[in-house]
Structure 1
Amino acid sequence: MPTYECYTHRGQVDAAAKAQLAAGIAQIHHEVTGAPIMLSQCIFHTLDPDDHFIGGQPAPANGVWVHGHIRSKPTGDRNKRITAGITDLLTRTLQISSSAVWVYLSELSPGDMVEFGHALPEPGAERSWFDNLPPNVHNQLVTPDHALGA
């Protein structure tokens, strides 16, 4: 459901840090939106020095850029809480300044996204959506009932 793409420079983030960031981003998204943790995705992209520019100049080698694709649901300061939480997570985990962090969120309506071959549900309807997925998909997403708000 939420998909966060993290762009970091080659050699900047090891496997353990990626796992910590992915778990942290999923937790932040869950705490702010209530979306099930088990459906959060985090994809890491590695940038070479000549892949990232700001204002026509090479970007800082310690910079991190995160682009989150999330379901739309206007709820006050939700997006500000997500971006602040991810910024804090990145600065603590990678020990970088917040000036080296960019976090963007793009909202999509649930019908604009398909996962496991099915359009995504409205926020709060994850349990019914999950229950109607084919059995082989359930095996991929084995989770305790509480993870879907049961």
Structure 2
Amino acid sequence: MTSSAAPRRSLVTCRAAGELLALDVGSVERVLRYTVPRTLPNTAAWMRGVIAVGEQLVTVLDLRERLGLSAAAAHEGSRIVVLALSGGRIGFVVDAVDDVVAVDPAMIEAAPPVYRGLARAFVQGILRRDERLYLVLDADHLVTSQERLALGAAVEELQHGR
């Protein structure tokens, strides 16, 4: 007799400005110690710059500011979570990466209506785990296609010194 285990969803948990966040492990390519990115010209404040990861440049964004949370300087525990998204690789600065957890998808509840507009697109749901609430983020919607084009143009400008 075989028992079928309930499907699990693996999430990387992290923190930004005191908020508990979770990202699908399938979108996380790697986690790096924080290094100061090279600034990009003509971009929003939450777009920190670029870093070299292997042979490629990866755009680095501040997840705290992107989510409308309080801005803070990077510190010893800060990390850059590099995500492999449909439009390429993007790194997000977080205050800490905590764990990889496997959860029952039923533990993730729909995001409450308080999240509207762009913020609503970022949040897939709320995970209740160990008496804590995590915002489960939709990695593919953290940066719009228009913003990706602007980032691409800024990286191109940086590479070609225009």
**TM-score, normalised with respect to structure 1:** 0.27
Higher helix share: 1
**TM-score, normalised with respect to structure 2:** 0.26
